[in-house]
Chain A
């Protein structure tokens, strides 16, 4: 029915959702980049999209696009997508930047490519500011230009997974490279000698784009980190492969 005509005929009251259990809300930084691809990945893992600005109601886990600092408060974890890190920085005012850093110090974050650049401590080629969350330096466009982009197969050893796990398809697009990893950093996947997927406590970062493949293992790992951190225990079907 046209909204303008609502009230002219009797419709059922919307189902009351407020009393239902809300498990987890994952934010996806959506100021620029491939945030929609991350959203599609989370949807494929059974999360539902919540509208920005309205508290998600209902059962299950949600994801929401984040464009303002004030939205961070509602989140259990945040994905920083691929894109152009220079543009993302330009679109963040100091308040957003500082609140994002504060969020990352406490809550799980997962950065892919540009997202990993934002999370690093030192950025070069060229230098630019960053959140300083990861004990890692990062070199932008370290492989070269788009013509040097590639899709590879990378051996992967996720925590809790069985040996001999199948290789991960890794999509590198004008990708950066990690350097000078700190002691707290654990390397989860290497391409040759180069670390491409790292974890530091509640933080996860990849120089490639798992969101551009149909392999959900890295995203699943992040959801496990969020659940662990939120102290809500492992539940649901999303992590059944890892139990």
Chain B
């Protein structure tokens, strides 16, 4: 009997496809998310926009809070650990969360190394801005990739850039000759075997989701049309005027992402979205997406 294979880990991600994973900070929000049709919740201490505003060191959420959320909902519960913080990851695994997000939203614990995710039974999701980064994370054992976007801004532009870049780089690989893949692997700073796999299949060997700045049903449908297989929504829901209505609308948009009639319907009477910040105005040192190596 297999208990830790990558196939089992990506299997859960397969089940989340076409769905919305929502950031929640307490049991009440988790209940709202589940009722709205979330396929999973991400338990955290503060949503990214608050982390951005308040500063300080952002760490793994309190165990009491994660446990409370796990006891409240029947859908999978994910939690974040800091980049490279394999002990936070071990603690989350011992707690039996369903997925760990080794996330750039938290303050990194290691400036060179990520967690060796093969060493865990629990599956991991990691952020990526481009194909090289995605394949490095997969090499380390990530069972799901999400775009980083720019978390906590409510500005979808970086999520769009990242998903376009990843897809373009994958398409480019499919037209290279066998003998050109070695150098391309070097340029991508990614393992040759994985580069070759993508060149053959035209897609990542693990599910490819989108995150970072998605705040409206239209944003969700946009990244889905660009190739995301599911979406993460962070601050976008519980920083908006009517979280329950917005959550349900984004869920519906992720299912009917190619159907403008349904999208029009779900965009009516939504209340105000999160105010957000223009990601282009953020100085480099304020960007979370540059964390990760």
Interface residues of A (CB under 8 A from B): 30-37, 67, 82-84, 86-87, 90-91, 113-114, 125-126, 140-141, 144-147, 149-153, 171, 173-174, 209, 212
Known interface pairs A31-B255, A91-B252. Does A126 touch B8 (Cβ–Cβ under 8 Å)? no
On chain B, the residues within 8 Å of A145 by CB distance are 76, 96-98
Selected contact of B12 from candidates A37, A86, A150, A173, CB within 8 Å = A173
B17 in contact with A174 (CB, 8 Å): no
Q: How many residues of B contact A (CB 8 A)?
A: 39
Q: Which residues of B contact A147 (CB under 8 A)?
A: 93, 96, 98, 121-122
12 contacts between A and B (CB under 8 A): A34-B15, A35-B17, A82-B15, A87-B37, A87-B75, A87-B251, A90-B36, A91-B252, A91-B255, A145-B76, A146-B96, A209-B11
Q: CB distance A90 to B74 under 8 Å?
A: no
Query: Are B11 and A149 within 8 A (Cβ)?
Result: yes
Residues 11-22 of B, flagged 1 when their CB comes within 8 A of A and 0 if not, give 110111111000
Inter-chain contact B5/A146, CB cutoff 8 Å: no
Residues of B near any A CB (own CB < 8 A): 1-3, 5, 7-8, 11-12, 14-19, 34-40, 74-76, 93, 96-99, 121-123, 248, 251-252, 254-256, 259
B18 near A150 (CB under 8 angstroms)? no
B15 touches A140 (CB 8 A): no
Query: Which chain A residues lie closer than 8 Å to B17 at the CB level?
Result: 32-36, 83
Using Cβ atoms and an 8 Å threshold, which residues of chain B touch A153? 1
Q: Let me know if B14 and A34 touch, CB within 8 A.
A: yes
Interchain CB contact (< 8 A) of A114 among B3, B15, B122, B254: B15
Instruction: Kindly identify which residue among A35, A91, A140, A146 contacts B251, using a CB–CB cutoff of 8 Å.
Output: A91
Asked if A171 and B7 sit within 8 Å, CB to CB, the answer is yes
Contact across chains for A83 and B74 when beta carbons are under 8 A apart: no
- Distance between A27 CB and nearest chain B CB, rounded to angstroms: 15
Q: In the assembled complex, which residues on chain A have CB atoms less than 8 Å from the CB atom of B14?
A: 34, 37, 82, 209, 212
Number of inter-chain CB pairs below 8 Å:
114
Closest Cβ of chain A to B75, distance in Å, is 5
Residues of A near B34 (CB, < 8 A) are 86
Q: Which of chain A's residues have a CB closer than 8 A to the CB of B76?
A: 84, 145-146, 174
Using known A-B contacts A31-B255, A145-B96, determine if residue A87 contacts B19 with beta carbons closer than 8 Å: yes
A173 CB contacts on chain B under 8 angstroms: 8, 11-12, 15
- Tell whether, in the assembled complex, residue B7 and residue A90 are in contact, meaning their CB atoms are under 8 Å apart: no
